[in-house]
């Protein structure tokens, strides 16, 4: 016999929903903690520099969550726009006929989210799913990203722009970014940290904070950044503009006058914030690409190296870098300086420097410079006693090379 079910009162339903909401609220309550995070610091520095940032990462890796947490930490209202579900007119403006459009023209009305940003005067505009936006929408986004204009509306200076994209291989109906749009962003590749994820699921996530910019370092930071970029491009003019050959690489970071200008700003901000080399590397390579970025980072390393002429003038007081690659660069520069201006006194001074390098660091670093320096000797120059101190190092290296050749290594 079928028994009618007991009706559930509206009151009971409300109680159950309230209980469910209470449980959800407990799960949504999280704590934050300061934790070194190179990705997060690079992102916050680029945002502080008022440069558009594009986060690349696989779906579900936490790009959107990172932006929401960043907006909350910086006390910026977050406006999320899914680029792929909008029409080009949503970014270029919708035409609206006025009373006398023949005389006054047709104004381009901005969307409501842009009006809200202008009214607030500040905010974080998050353009999500950028790689699923078709080419026509990407073209409409150019003016928004570069000029901060939507139709006839100018976004206020307090608005920052961050976008996110999945690689085309994992994006739904993904498109490669057009080169003009890609070149307007600082590209950061977002990856997950296992420990951060596990601790976050336990209720504690890293806290996004703006790195402290030291005002007393501003002038030096600007001079340093401009000098670093200008010296590299003076020596490597081909790097000023290099449009990649493949479409995939054109959709990422590549060097152009625009992206080098962004790089100057990023180097200055990272210097003023005393950021780590790893953070600076993320920012520089995210602006001009890996190849040019690594060249700039190497040039920055060499900027603080001692002048070889100063070392040759007072070899007994030579202070050589501890890091092996930088020490090697200094020794090579000393030998090159002697080659450019050969003189017995300079030649002897270089030997003194090489001996000091062998005594205070890995002896194998002096093998090539010593061999090259020996070939610069003139017939009327007496061999200094320092050569004998290095003879053992050079002979051992030569013997090791011969043994490696015989062993087929």
Residue 165 has pLDDT above 60, yes or no: yes
Percentage of the chain beyond pLDDT 70 is 87
The rounded distance, in Å, linking the Cα atoms of 365 and 332 is 10
The pLDDT assigned to 252 comes to 93
The rounded distance, in Å, linking the Cα atoms of 133 and 128 is 10
Neighbour count for residue 267 (Cβ, 10 Å): 26
Residue 403 has pLDDT above 60, yes or no: no
Average pLDDT over residues 176-182: 89
Q: What average pLDDT is seen over the chain?
A: 84
**Banded pLDDT at 397 (limits 50, 70, 90):** very low
Residue 122 has pLDDT above 80, yes or no: yes
Least confident stretch, 48-52, 173-177, 299-303: 173-177
Residue 111 has pLDDT above 60, yes or no: yes
Residue 178 has pLDDT above 80, yes or no: yes
Q: SS in 3 state form for the chain?
A: CCCCCCCCCHHHHHHHHHHHHHHHHHHHCCEEECCCCHHHHHHHHHHHCCCCEEEECCCCCCHHHHHHHHHHHCCCCEEEEEHHHCCCHHHHCEECCCCCHHHHCCCEECCHHHHHHHHHCEEEEEEECHHHCCHHHHHHHHHHHHHCEECCEECCCEEEEEEEECCCCCCCCCCCCCHHHHCCCEEEECCCCHHHHHHHHCCEEECCCCCCCCHHHHHHHHHHHHHHHHHHHHHCHHHCCCCCCCHHHHCCCCCCHHHHHHHHHHHHHHHHCCCCHHHHHHHHHHHHCHHHHHHHHHHHHHHCCCCHHHHHHCHHHCCCCCCHHHHHHHHHHHHHHHHHCCCHHHHHHHHHHHHHHHHHCCHHHHHHHHHHHHCCCCCCCCCCCHHHHHHHHHHHHHHHHHHHHHCCC
Average pLDDT over residues 152-160: 89
Q: Which residues contact 25 (CB under 8 A, 6 or more apart)?
A: none
Give CA separation, 291 vs 20, 249, 254, 284, in Å. 53, 12, 9, 10
Average pLDDT over residues 194-214: 83
Tens of pLDDT, residue by residue over 346-364, are 999 999 999 999 888 888 8
Residue 210 has pLDDT above 80, yes or no: no
Q: Which of 306, 284, 304 is nearest to 296 (CA)?
A: 284
The answer to whether the beta carbons of residues 151 and 109 sit under 8 Å apart is yes
The rounded distance, in Å, linking the Cα atoms of 97 and 109 is 10
**Banded pLDDT at 400 (limits 50, 70, 90):** very low
The pLDDT assigned to 304 comes to 76
Residue 21 has pLDDT above 80, yes or no: yes
Least confident stretch, 25-29, 284-288, 295-299: 25-29
Give CA separation, 120 vs 16, 43, 50, 116, 253, in Å. 38, 23, 17, 6, 32
The rounded distance, in Å, linking the Cα atoms of 209 and 213 is 12
């Amino acid at each position: 016999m079928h028994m009618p079910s007991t009706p559930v009162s509206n009151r009971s339903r409300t109680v159950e929903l309230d209980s469910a909401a209470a449980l959800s609220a407990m799960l949504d309550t999280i704590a934050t903690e300061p934790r070194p995070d190179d990705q997060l610091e690079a992102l916050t520095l680029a945002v502080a520099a008022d440069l558009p940032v594009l986060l690349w990462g696989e779906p579900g890796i936490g790009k959107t969550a990172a932006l929401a947490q960043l907006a909350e930490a910086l006390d910026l209202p977050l406006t999320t726009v899914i680029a792929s579900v909008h029409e080009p007119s949503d970014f270029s403006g919708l035409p609206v006929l006025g009373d006398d459009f023949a005389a006054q023209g047709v104004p381009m009305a901005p969307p409501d989210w842009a009006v809200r940003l202008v009214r607030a005067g500040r905010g974080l505009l998050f353009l999500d799913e950028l790689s699923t936006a078709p080419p026509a929408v990407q073209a409409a986004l150019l003016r928004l990203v570069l000029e901060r204009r939507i139709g006839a509306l100018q976004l206020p200076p307090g608005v920052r722009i961050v976008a996110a994209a999945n690689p085309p291989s994992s994006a739904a109906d993904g498109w490669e970014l057009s080169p003009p749009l890609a070149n307007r962003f600082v590209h950061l590749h977002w990856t997950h940290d296992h420990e951060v994820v596990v601790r976050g699921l336990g209720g504690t996530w890293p806290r996004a904070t703006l790195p402290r910019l030291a005002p007393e370092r501003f002038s030096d930071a600007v001079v340093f950044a401009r000098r670093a970029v200008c010296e590299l491009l003076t020596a490597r003019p081909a790097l000023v503009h290099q449009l990649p050959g493949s479409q995939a690489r054109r959709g990422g970071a590549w060097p152009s006058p625009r992206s080098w200008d962004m790089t100057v700003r990023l180097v200055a901000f990272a210097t003023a914030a005393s950021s780590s080399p790893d953070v600076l590397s993320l920012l520089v390579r995210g602006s001009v690409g890996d190849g040019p970025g690594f060249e700039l980072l190497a040039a920055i390393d060499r900027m603080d190296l001692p002048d070889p002429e100063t070392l040759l003038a007072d070899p007994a007081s030579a202070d050589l870098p501890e890091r092996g690659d930088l020490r090697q660069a200094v020794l090579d520069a000393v030998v090159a300086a002697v080659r450019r201006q050969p003189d017995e006194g300079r030649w002897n001074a270089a030997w003194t420097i090489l001996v000091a390098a062998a005594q205070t660091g890995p002896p194998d670093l002096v093998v090539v410079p010593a061999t090259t320096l020996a070939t610069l000797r003139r017939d009327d120059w007496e061999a200094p006693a320092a050569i004998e101190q290095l003879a053992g190092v050079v002979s051992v290296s030569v013997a090791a090379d011969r043994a490696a050749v015989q062993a087929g290594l």
